[in-house]
Amino acid sequence: MIAHLKGTLLSKATDSVIIDVNGLGYEVFVPLSTFYTLPDEQGHEISLHIHTHVREDALLLYGFKTILEKRIFRLLISVSGIGPKLGMNILSGIGPDALLTAIAQGDVARLQSIPGVGKKTAERIALELKDKAKLIRPDSADMPPTKIASHEERLIKDDAISALVNLGYTLKAAEKAVEKALTGPGDKTLEFVITEALRVLV
């Protein structure tokens, strides 16, 4: 099984990358949380933690920037009815930290707000993974329930985080700054959120 890849970025799309490792090109599917951390231009060296999924007709690779993302993905696909494709969609739709908190709190409403996740799936995730998520993030029980954002708010948040990462900030720092900008007063346009987040980061 392939557990890790380090090589040269050949191409990049929102759902996958191709990595050249000693002349071999590996196609690796990635969540948005990992996509935002990757360089924009090809030729840069990257490294990803890999989950290898073996089917009768294919061997598929799923890549993650952090071990946390990989652990959450593996938790998701352990739930009945959730395959790798839906697992990646869930991880892309909310972000690893917020997702782990929602699972640990059993927040079905927050989970159901993720595109592609229905009520029954959200309930299964909360029921089957709540205790496991708490082991990964024991402080989640003391955190306030996550706010359910509209589709437009999620797009603005994702675009703002992407812009900050492209400016050189880490994904973690960008996520925290954008969250703070979104919870403060003011009109939540993309330009406003980026400006306020930059104030936090300065």
Nearest to 34 by CA among 196, 131, 165: 165
Percent of the chain surpassing pLDDT 70: 90
User: What is the reported pLDDT for 137?
Assistant: 61
Q: In this predicted structure, which of 5-9, 88-92, 139-143 has the lowest mean pLDDT?
A: 139-143
Is 28 in contact with 84 (CB distance < 8 Å)? no
Given CA atoms 94, 96, 98, 103 in this order, what sign does their dihedral have? positive
Stretch 181-198: mean pLDDT: 79
Nearest to 157 by CA among 145, 171, 144: 171
pLDDT digits (tens, 9 = 90+) for 133-142: 888 765 544 4
Q: Taking the model in full, what pTM does it have?
A: 0.67
Look up residue 144 and give its DSSP letter: P
User: What is the reported pLDDT for 143?
Assistant: 47
Amino acid at 100: L
pLDDT digits (tens, 9 = 90+) for 107-166: 998 898 888 899 999 999 999 998 888 887 655 444 445 444 555 677 788 888 888 887
Which pLDDT band, with edges at 50, 70 and 90, does 171 fall under?
confident
User: What is the reported pLDDT for 48?
Assistant: 95
User: What is the reported pLDDT for 139?
Assistant: 53
Look up residue 122 and give its DSSP letter: H
The encoded tokens of residue 170 equal 């880490």
The encoded tokens of residue 24 equal 């071999």
Query: Which domains does the chain possess?
Result: 4-64 (2.40.50.140), 67-142 (1.10.150.20), 151-201 (1.10.8)
Cα separation values, 179 from 71, 96, 174, 176, Å: 23, 14, 9, 5
